[in-house]
Structure 1
Amino acid sequence: MVKILAVGINARFTHSCLALFYLRREIEANLPGSTVRILQCTINDPVYALFQQLTDEAADYLFFSAAIWNSDLVERLIEDLLQLSAGPMIVVGGPQAAVVGSRFADSPRVSVFSGAIETAGPAFYRDLREKKLAKSYQAPSFQAAGLTVASPYRPGDFSSALRDRAVYYESSRGCPFACTYCLSSVERGLYHKDLLQVREELAAILVHRPKSVRFVDRTFNDVPQRALAIWRMCVELGRETLFHFELAPDRFTEELFAFLETVPPGRFQFEIGLQSTNPETLAAIKREVDLRQAAENVKRLRRLETIHLHLDLILGLPFETAATFSRSVNEALAMEPHYLQMGLLKVLPDTELARQAEAYAYRWSRRPPYPVLATRWLEPEVLRDLYRLGECLESCVNNRFFVSLWRYLVRSGEDLALFFSGLSRLFLEQGYYFKAATQETLCGLLTCHVAGRADYPLCRELLIYDWLRCGHRFLPESLQQSESSFTELRDQVYRTLPGHVAGLFDEQGRNHFIRKHVFYRFQPQTLAVLGYGNTAAMAVLCFTAQREDTVQRHVKTVVLALSD
């Protein structure tokens, strides 16, 4: 009997490693009597504690899934394991298998498996059984093998290996794009599961009521009609589960939008790969995108306010200058996603981009995750400044803190790349790239940054509105002013508010309503910008204790008319 420990080292605890479950199924099917135990750890776990877990198992084989985010740690663990004169044989799979394996080319205990485990041939299982592994195995292409793939999960997984973790699921393999920077372009071809099979597999997963299911399809909506059918299954079968999809921004149909208008808030999360809005860059990386349609679609999705929208840009792509990347940032922010991720380009081994690197004068780290350091179009110091801009966006935009301020700046035509470049310098000067910044801290930095603007009074009130909509019952020091206080305004509300307001309170509940809620008096211009209509005089907004039924769950607000 062969005993195997399958090890996945994830980026965080809530993630899971789909490859391990496929490995378990294939090993048990092809080596009857063998046992496979799945061990999932994180890159933040203490190294010696991980080492102890691996050596305590007394397994015949350790299988590691190596990716760019964990391969350094996998290498270190293998190095330590090889220091012991006796121990298990080690098999490394995953996208970084060949790279990790090359570090141990002289060790008879380390073997590399490249490709999909479903296409492993009889020789691999024979060698496993006889405990005489070759140095490397290259599995045939999944598409070339003409195989089908089924979900590898079994009921017990959801109370053990998948408990409190995201469940990863694929309804297709392959990608319709051939982006030069991506490993998905190395193996061409697409495979789509039969929709009846998808329904059966989703039903088997969702009966366990997981918190989230993340579809790993590289472009989920490459066939819109198929995407719609699966979305309908998700809404029908998974009433308490959040579903995550990776989508192309220009592949939406009217039928898709019609259905999405019916999806309850918080059920779907979309990660949308924009990458760049520079046509020359998109052509160079072989990513065909209708930019006008993409922008229109993302804006339309945002107007639903029921689907969390995550938009991706990549810093360091070919032909991307500081000016074109700043334009990409501005055009992406104008689409108003909930989350804008500016990822730094990784020059991955075996990709077409890696082969073009010399022509593009790329300089990049030779260690995972292979971040770009400079390009023909971006000198190191310029790239660093743009990266800091992205980190500033991460802190300030990718949350629910300042939604109305960003919307105002976008709709007034602000150069937001320039705005955040200035803010990023303030972050750097005050050391906030190296320590956590709370919402209160960010309010202070933003107040300082907008202080000299002609529209400072409006920006300040928008910051106050955003702060209170997050449910706070006080103002941070940076937004306080001496001439008016919550207490004074509450007293005025108590004196002048009618005894009964339909839909809010009756005479018996009036005092409770006033005690429970927060009130603030805003200028007419601010109210108009916020969409409360034009008013001739200042009006009071009531920030209630109820939450909106939207993605960001801000508190509901009500305009109150008070007499002097």
Structure 2
Amino acid sequence: MKVVISTLNAKYIHTCLALRCLKAYAEPDYQLEMAEYTIKDPAMNIVTSLFEKEPDVIGFSCYIWNIEETIQVVSMLKKIRPELTIVLGGPEVSYDTKYWMERVPEVDFIVMGEGEESFKHLLQEIEGEQKYHFLFGTAYRKDGEVVISPPRPKFNLNEMNSPYRFAEDLSELGKRITYFETSRGCPFSCQFCLSSIETGVRYFDMEKIKEDLLYLIDNGAKMIKFVDRTFNIKRDYALEIFDFLIKNHKGCQFQFEITADIMRPEVLDFLNKNAPKGLFRFEIGVQSTNDATNELVKRRQNFKKLQRTVTMVKEGGKIDQHLDLIAGLPEEDYTRFKQTFNDVFEMRPEELQLGFLKMLRGTGLRLRAEDHGYVYMDHAPYEMLKNNILSFSDISRIKRVEDVLEKYWNDHRMDHTIEYLVEHTFSTPFDFFQDFGDYWEKQGWSRIGHQLEDLFLRLHEFLLDIDTEHLSVIEGLMKYDYFLHQKHKPRKVWWEHTLSKKEHSSLLKSLAHAPSLAGPSFESLQASEKELHKHSVTELLDFSLSHYLQTGTFLKEPEYLIVYYHTQTKEKQVFHLPLSSAKIVEA
């Protein structure tokens, strides 16, 4: 019996841990072939690839991001191979299972919940006596009717063979994200999350975890993402793994989902002291800072302790943080969500993800949708469209905030500029992103592409249009940010140069003859006038950028900005020269 297990990942760089767990448990009794695609792949290409594998049984792992594309593939496969046995599994079909069996008649079986034991047992029955009424955690058809069996008891994690050691994965370890689990389950009951349905947390054996991590690291893994819902729920357990990775990482990076308000200060002190910069990345779900909203969705959160954790991590300078918000939670209207956004942005996370509530099948919030007047998409991803206090118009406006936030904050293309705007120009950070987002939509820019220069030009146009105060200062910061994000000396800029070609040449000539004027670091370049012309850019700002970067305050003292680009290392050095030294231009 030829068995293929497949899924459609969101991106090529992603991998599906579920397939590997099924394969690890089924072997050696059944040899499962894994076949991964992406939701961007044409359905015909996927069907052709799977058809050529000549499977007898094919199983698909289903999620909100791939269910509709998977259904299309399943329908085509069944038309060309009616005898093919098709099995679905995964979180998207584990709830409202009868609906899926009726909606997709081409599907023969659905495996609900944890699939390792159920899928292997199903294969045994398909190959054997086909007594499907003996199966737990499975839906099947009998005499034209859908039969849903009782759930299977929780899987003993210690019976799992390693899902991380397949030979076919080795060549891709350095190119794709490896998903890794040390536990299953979640101790919390957040009503918008599928993890709330399963009670209790179970852990894999620590020694097996370490052995598998070492195997992945030694074989070239570059990014390992831990999928544990609350990685730090057990302090000593998390600390042991952190310590192990610090000692054995070999350049691999690791991402964790943590609950920030229960993170102990001593753990953070340990990480700030011992973790190499960039080794770890934390994903923290804040979702809302409104206590009333959190209570309605059964989410326990101490925001002050969360702030303490985020602040300690940020001050440590070792770990990037990705903070999540959800717009559309119960009883959080537009104004209150604005406060949530500002509360969280105040902490200046490296990345702030603004998402929108998805009414996931099986969650308490979906079951009680009428209580809050939720209207949402009929098909995945089931995103909410409005509720009793948040209109569709409000949602549309917040989506504009999300768009500009992604382009101008999360991508860190102009950090100095955005920091100035949210601190000195607009009433709150949210107001900047909202006003700019509304302007962006009005100009029709959301329907066309953009290059890096376009982002600067569009922000500049917006600031001009609203008659922004201190625009010359903002322009200076924008120029500085633009230079910082070039790997090579830029061939063009988006503004008119403040120095003429003659002034630029005179400045570089003077610096070549008297490099100490720009400081010891510039002098150490030992660059000739020709090299300066080839590798450097200059601008005259009407304020002291160096003073602002050091103190956060402005000094109305014009200053030359000089950036030198190293061709070999792709690094750049920034130098500042007060205009009070302007006599050198005439030298």
Q: Same fold (TM over 0.5)?
A: yes
- How much has 1:214 moved relative to structure 2? 0.6
Of residues 461, 473, 480 in structure 1, which corresponds to 2:489? 473
Partner residue in 2 for 1:360 = 372
Comparing 314-323 with 327-336, which one deviates more in the overlay?
Answer: 327-336
Confirm or deny: 8 A CA contact 2:508 2:532 kept in the other structure.
Answer: no
The 1:100/1:426 distance shift into structure 2, 3 A limit, reads: farther
Which range is displaced more, 2-11 or 465-474? 465-474
Of residues 29, 44, 49, the one that matches 2:45 is 49
Equivalent residues in 2 for 1:5-44, closer than 5 Å: 5-29=4-28, 32=29, 34-44=30-40
The 2-side partners of 1:560 and 1:203 are apart by 50
Report the CA distance shift for 1:491/1:175 in structure 2 as closer, same or farther (over 3 A): farther
- The question of whether the paired residues in 1 share the 8 Å contact of 2:359 and 2:382 is answered with yes
TM-superposed CA distance for 1:508, in Å, is: 5.0
Aligned to 2:137: none
Distance in 2 (CA, whole Å) between partners of 1:486 and 1:267 is 45
- Distance of 2:573 and 2:265 partners within structure 1: 31
**Are the counterparts in 1 of residues 75 and 106 from structure 2 also a CA contact under 8 Å?**
no
- Could you say if the C-alpha distance between residues 378 and 393 of structure 1 is closer, same or farther in structure 2, counting changes exceeding 3 Å? same
- Shift in CA distance, 213/563, structure 1 to aligned 2, threshold 3 Å: same
Cα distance between partner residues in 2 of 1:104 and 1:120: 17
> Secondary structure of 1:396's match?
helix
- Give, in whole Å, the separation in 1 of the partners of 2:150 and 2:548: 61
List gaps (5 residues or longer) in structure 2. 133-139, 141-147
Amino acid at match of 1:52: T
How far apart are 1:357 and its partner, in Å?
0.3
Q: Which moved more, 1:359-368 or 1:280-289?
A: 280-289
> Distance between the aligned counterparts of 1:370 and 1:104, measured in 2?
19
The question of 1:509 aligning with 2:527 is answered yes
Letter in 2 for 1:456: L
Structure 2 SS opposite 1:359? helix
CA distance in 2, matches of 1:357, 1:237: 47
Give secondary structure in 1 for the equivalent of 2:232: helix
Bigger drift between 419-428 and 68-77 goes to 419-428
CA distance in 1: counterparts of 2:299 and 2:491, whole angstroms: 46
Task: Call closer, same or farther: CA 1:489–1:222 in 2, change over 3 Å.
Answer: farther
TM-score normalised to structure 1 length: 0.90
* Preserved CA contact (<8 Å) 2:404 2:437: yes
Whether contact under 8 Å (2:254, 2:281) holds in the other structure is: yes
CA distance in 2, matches of 1:350, 1:546: 56
Give, in angstroms, the shift of residue 477 of structure 1.
5.6
Could you say if the C-alpha distance between residues 110 and 537 of structure 1 is closer, same or farther in structure 2, counting changes exceeding 3 Å?
same
Task: Decide whether aligned partners of structure 1 residues 137 and 147 sit closer, same or farther in structure 2, where only a CA change above 3 A counts.
Answer: farther
The question of whether the paired residues in 2 share the 8 Å contact of 1:88 and 1:109 is answered with no
Does residue 373 (structure 1) correspond to residue 385 (structure 2)? The answer is: yes
Give CA-to-partner distance per residue, 1:532-555, whole Å, 9 cap, x none. Answer: 6876732333334369x9xxx984
Which runs of structure 2 are paired with 1:510-549 in the superposition (5 Å)?
A: 510-511=528-529, 512=531, 515-524=534-543, 526-531=545-550, 537-545=557-565
Paired residue type of 1:524: F
Q: 1: distance between equivalents of 2:188 and 2:67?
A: 26
Q: In structure 2, which of residues 496, 499, 522 is the aligned counterpart of residue 484 of structure 1?
A: 499
Q: Secondary structure at the match of 1:220?
A: coil
1:20 corresponds to which letter in structure 2? L
Selected match of 1:445 from 455, 458, 462: 458
Partner Cα distance (2:187, 2:348) in 1: 26
Question: Within 5 A, what are the aligned runs for 1:107-506?
Answer: 107=105, 110-120=108-118, 124-130=122-128, 132=130, 134=132, 135=140, 136=148, 139-142=151-154, 149=160, 151-160=162-171, 162=173, 164-261=175-272, 262-412=274-424, 414-451=427-464, 452-471=467-486, 473-474=489-490, 478-481=494-497, 483-485=498-500, 488-496=503-511, 498-500=514-516, 502-506=520-524
Q: 1:411 to 1:280 in 2, by over 3 A?
A: same
CA separation in 2, counterparts of 1:235 and 1:330? 34
1:224 to 1:115, Cα distance in 2 relative to 1, 3 A: same
User: Per-residue deviation at 1:333?
Assistant: 1.6
Kindly state the Cα deviation for residue 298 of structure 1 after the two structures are TM-superposed. 2.0
Corresponding residue for 1:559?
576
Deviation of 1:495 (Å): 1.3
Structure-2 separation of matches of 1:193 and 1:454: 58
Q: Does 1:94 align with 2:90?
A: yes
Give the % identical residues. 26
Mapped partners of 2:550, 2:172: distance in 1? 48
Q: Distance in 1 between matches of 2:571 and 2:432?
A: 25
Q: Distance between the aligned counterparts of 1:146 and 1:193, measured in 2?
A: 6
338-347 or 132-141, which moves further after superposition? 132-141
What's the TM-score once normalised by structure 2's chain length? 0.87
Q: 1:303 to 1:432 in 2, by over 3 A?
A: farther
1:351–1:87 CA distance, 2 compared to 1 (3 A) = same
8 Å CA contact 2:186–2:199 kept in 1: the answer is yes
How far apart are residue 7 of structure 1 and its match?
0.3
Contact 1:405 1:459 in 2 (8 A): yes
The CA deviation at 1:202 is 0.7
Aligned to 2:325, the other structure's residue is in SS state strand
Contact 1:519–1:543 under 8 Å retained in 2:
yes
- Offset at residue 188 of structure 1 (A): 0.9
Per-residue Cα deviation, 1:186-232 (whole angstroms, up to 9, x for no partner):
11110123433321121111111112111101111222332222122
Render the CA deviation track for 1:300-342: whole Å, top value 9, x for unaligned: 3234444322111111111110001111111222111121111
The farther-off stretch of 46-55 and 509-518 is 509-518
SS where residue 460 of structure 2 aligns?
Answer: helix
Say which SS state the counterpart of residue 343 (structure 1) adopts. Answer: strand
Q: C-alpha separation between the residues in 2 aligned to 1:241 and 1:116?
A: 29
2:143 is matched with: none
Distance in structure 2 (CA, Å) of the matches to 1:429 and 1:128: 58
The one-letter amino acid paired with 1:464 is: K
Contact 1:490–1:519 (8 Å) recurs in 2: no
Residues 306 and 16 of structure 1, relative CA distance in 2, 3 Å threshold = same
Determine which structure has the larger helix proportion and give its number.
2
Q: List alignment gaps of at least 5 residues for structure 1.
A: none
Shift of 1:147: 5.2
Whole-angstrom distance in 2 between the partners of 1:318 and 1:423: 27
Residues 517 and 304 of structure 1: is their aligned pair in 2 closer, same or farther, counting only changes over 3 Å?
A: farther
Give the CA deviation at 1:485.
4.5
Contact 1:65 1:93 in 2 (8 A): yes
Root mean square deviation, CA, Å: 2.8
Residue type of the alignment partner of 1:186: I
| Distance in 2 separating the partners of 1:221 and 1:185 | 17
Look up the SS of the partner of 1:373 in the other structure: strand
Q: What amino acid does structure 1 have at the position aligned with 2:99? A: S
Does 315-324 or 109-118 show the bigger shift? 109-118
Deviation at 1:108, TM superposition (A): 7.6
Question: Conserved in 1, the CA contact under 8 Å of 2:376 and 2:383?
Answer: yes
1:518, distance to aligned residue in structure 2 (A): 2.8
CA contact (8 A) 2:93 2:100 kept: no
Greater mean alpha carbon deviation, residues 521-530 or residues 201-210? 521-530
